[in-house]
Amino acid sequence: MNDYYEVRLDLNPCSEDATDLLAGMLADEAYESFVPDENGLTAYVRKESYSADALKSVLNDFPFDCIVTASSKIIEGRDWNAEWEKNYFQPIVIGDRVVIHSSFHTDIPQAEYDIVIDPKMAFGTGHHSTTSQIVAALLDTELVGKSVIDMGTGTGILAILAAMRGASPVTGIEIDPFAYENAIENIRLNGHSDIKLINGDASALDSVAPADIFIANINRNVILADLGNYAAKLKEGGTMLLSGFYEGDDCEMIAAEAAKYGIKLADTTSDNHWACLKLIKRAL
């Protein structure tokens, strides 16, 4: 149940833009974690979610003018915390105010908000541009006494930061059972048992009261499909923070769909071509 496919993709020529786009396309096919380097990208997907045909389709649709060489192998279940600690996950500071690190780190920078994340192949360590942009947006948002819904909470990092900044109640919803269990552990590590976690999809919103702040860091297709559900759970005057997609056409499609529900674009940021939208709900 904890086995993964490790898919290696070498690009010639390789660029950061190309690996970013490839990661985004693979994320739409249930790939969870990505490690780019100067030669390409290593991506991880759960064994039960891997499809050779889906991978072939992604590569056929990949628009960059480069040669992509792919290989894959099974990675048996293991202590993913140790793997991330050893190979990938290093402490990160965002906005000079948030430090994110694992429980194994010893050389930790000082910051206003200290968040402990022990990832088990769940997306959202803070290193990715989508997560870090929403972290920055939360730092610029008044959260004391505000209710928050974090849709697709992943490691729980955004829900944890919201709670640290005084938000209450905070609810995280996660469809993947492994990520859900990881979020439970991370919330415990940070001493915020007041955060409510739900294992489910957008239908789980039926049991949650509308919030002042609604966060979704998922991907374009899921967000477009579920925006109606999101809108119903955002209070009038509330703020919606969306990421997990690219600048340009993705932003335009999502903003247009949100407008149908009275949710208007207020601000856009981007980093490495990944976008984050801040939207406000107005009366229709």
Alpha-carbon span 271 to 128, nearest angstrom: 9
pLDDT for the residue 284: 60
129 or 229, greater pLDDT: 229
Strand, coil or helix: 101: strand
Question: In 3D, which of 155, 153, 138 has the Cα closest to residue 205?
Answer: 153
Per-residue pLDDT of 107-140, as tens digits, reads 788 899 999 987 665 455 656 788 899 999 999 9
Which of 60-69, 113-122, 245-254 shows the lowest mean pLDDT across its residues? 113-122
Cis, bond preceding 169 (omega within 30 deg of 0): yes
pLDDT for the residue 153: 94
pLDDT for the residue 122: 47
Dihedral angle, C-alpha 101, 149, 280, 237, nearest 10 °: -130
pLDDT for the residue 239: 98
Partners of 72 in the β-ladder? 7
For each of the domains in the chain, give its residue range(s) and CATH number, in order of start: 4-78 (3.30.70), 81-281 (3.40.50.150)
Query: What's the mean pLDDT when you consider all of the chain?
Result: 89
Residue 13 vs residues 10, 16, 63: alpha-carbon distances, Å: 9, 10, 13
Our CA angle for 190, 3, 121, nearest 5°, is: 30
192-200: average pLDDT:
96
Whether the predicted pLDDT of 169 surpasses 70: yes
222 or 196, greater pLDDT: 196
Contacts of residue 57, defined as CB under 8 A and 6 or more positions apart, other chains included, come to none
Whether the predicted pLDDT of 11 surpasses 80: yes
Q: Give the position of tokens 């993964």.
A: 4
In which region does residue 53 sit, left (phi positive, over 0), alpha (psi from -120 to 50) or beta (all else)? alpha
Strand, coil or helix: 124: coil
Contacts of residue 79, defined as CB under 8 A and 6 or more positions apart, other chains included, come to none
Alpha-carbon span 143 to 161, nearest angstrom: 10
Is 174 within 8 Å of 197 (Cβ atoms)?
A: yes
Residue 253 vs residues 13, 256, 259, 265, 268: alpha-carbon distances, Å: 30, 5, 10, 12, 14
CA neighbours closer than 13 Å in the CB half-sphere of residue 273: 14
**What is the reported pTM?**
0.76
